Amino acid sequence: MGRHSAFWVVLVIVLTACSAGSGEGKPANSAPGGKLSLINMSLYRSDSAKAQPELILVQSDPDKLAAAGKWIRSGESRALPPAESISKIYGLQFQYPTKTSTESVDYILLTDRSKQLLSEAG
């Protein structure tokens, strides 16, 4: 599976998980007011000798960024699942340019066999 396909698969999973929320948590609307310019997607791997997390995708396509920005404004944070049920841990960094620098908002996406969860990391 190509990197762009992997981005869409993960984005669709995240969108589906957030739209089927149980109403727990607070809206994930803490994104800065600027326009989303870049998404860095990283994956924590337990079977790699490389530094963790490993950057697996950098997304800058305007259409994909618009869809991700819309999703993040409508999503919810959720409680973390038990550690033993976590299958994969992804890091998502949304970057918003300002006049003098770039603001970043980081999210952690946890997946298991039954559902996908999104939790704001900072």
pLDDT by residue (tens digit) across 12-46?
Answer: 555 555 444 433 443 444 567 678 999 999 999 88
By the 10 Å C-beta count (0-12 exposed, 13-18 middle, 19+ buried), 110 is classed as buried
Nearest to 60 by CA among 46, 39, 82: 39
8 A C-beta contact, residue 108 and residue 51: no
The pLDDT of residue 31 = 61
pTM: 0.65
